[in-house]
Structure 1
Amino acid sequence: MEELYETAKAKLYTVRTSRNGKMGHVAAALVTDRGNIYTGVALDLPSSIGFCAEHSAIASMVTDGEYKIDKIIAVYETGEVLPPCGRCRELINQVGEDNYHCEIGLPDNRTAELDELLPERWDAKYFI
């Protein structure tokens, strides 16, 4: 997870927009089952426009035809690791059938599988 942390941290470049938005203040890195690394940054813009860094990294992965995440981590502009929000957790879950067991980077050098962070899946009746 340390390599992914450093990869994400290297992508941080906070830019403030003229309308009180922020971009690049959170960066994410993920590694797929094929060993490929994808990165992305957050866009937090007015009027609820934007997306999380994890979404950006996942979109890059999907653009290359990959769907299986082995590990993922998000880093804030201060260098702190951020756990994924609920929307990101659900996106990770839905993008690939096996992603429910991917490893997520958490604060304090901890990790957890997505299934620990997303218990009581709404679709469990149909897909587990």
Structure 2
Amino acid sequence: MVTKDLYDIALCTVKNINLKKNGKAGHVACALETVSGIVYTGICIDVPCSIGICAEQAAIAEMLKHGETKIKRIVSVYEDGSILSPCGRCRELISQLDLDNENTVVAINNDQKVTLKELLPERWDKKWD
């Protein structure tokens, strides 16, 4: 696990919200810690027409709103308490924010953590680094 404190923050952020016409929000929550030590959280939003955002994206937006780009560690938690690995889109988003984010520690399940670099080993944008 990334660390119990970050996991607990994410788990406490989970709040199921029923939206119009089978939409829902808050059944996945994310907590990320920046290199400055500040923790930001976010929840997912899912609606039937496929418009929505991941919890990681919501937490990242909050982080960016406060002028930060470097993520030290990140964890996303489903409503049952299990850890969810970030989807490919979220992995790519994290990598595009700051070069140092390749060292972000990512929880991928309840027993394992890896760096973002391990999740994205063959960078498509390597020639622009």
Residue matched to 2:48: 46
Deviation digits for residues 38-70 of structure 1 (CA, Å, limit 9, x no counterpart): 000000112111100000000000000000000
Matches within 5 A, 1:105-124: 105-124=107-126
SS in structure 1 of the partner of residue 33 of structure 2: strand
Q: Which stretch shifts more, 82-91 or 104-113? A: 104-113
1:79 partner amino acid: G
Identity %: 48
CA drift at 1:95: 1.1
**Structure 1: 5+ residue runs without aligned partners?**
none
Hey, what does 1:2 align to over in structure 2?
Answer: 4
What is residue 100 of structure 2 aligned with on the other side?
Answer: 98
Aligned to 1:58: 60
Displacement over 6 Å in runs of 4+: none
SS of 1:13's partner is coil
Matches of 2:128 and 2:65 in 1, distance apart?
Answer: 27
Between the aligned partners of 1:58 and 1:96, the Cα distance in structure 2 is: 12
Alpha-carbon distance in structure 2 between the residues aligned to 1:2 and 1:92? 22
Note the C-alpha offset of 1:109. 2.1
Q: Work out which of the residue numbers 64, 77, 80 in structure 1 matches 2:79.
A: 77
Normalising by structure 1, what TM-score? 0.96
When normalised by structure 2's length, the TM-score is 0.95
Q: Does 1:11 align with 2:26?
A: no
Determine the C-alpha separation between the residues in 1 that align with 2:110 and 2:42.
22
* Structure with more contact order per residue of length (Cα contacts < 8 Å, sep ≥ 6): 2
CA distance in 2, matches of 1:106, 1:4: 14
For 1:50 and 1:43, locate their aligned partners in 2 and report how far apart those are by CA, in whole Å.
5
Q: Give 1:20's aligned amino acid.
A: N
**Which one-letter code corresponds to 2:26 in the other structure?**
G
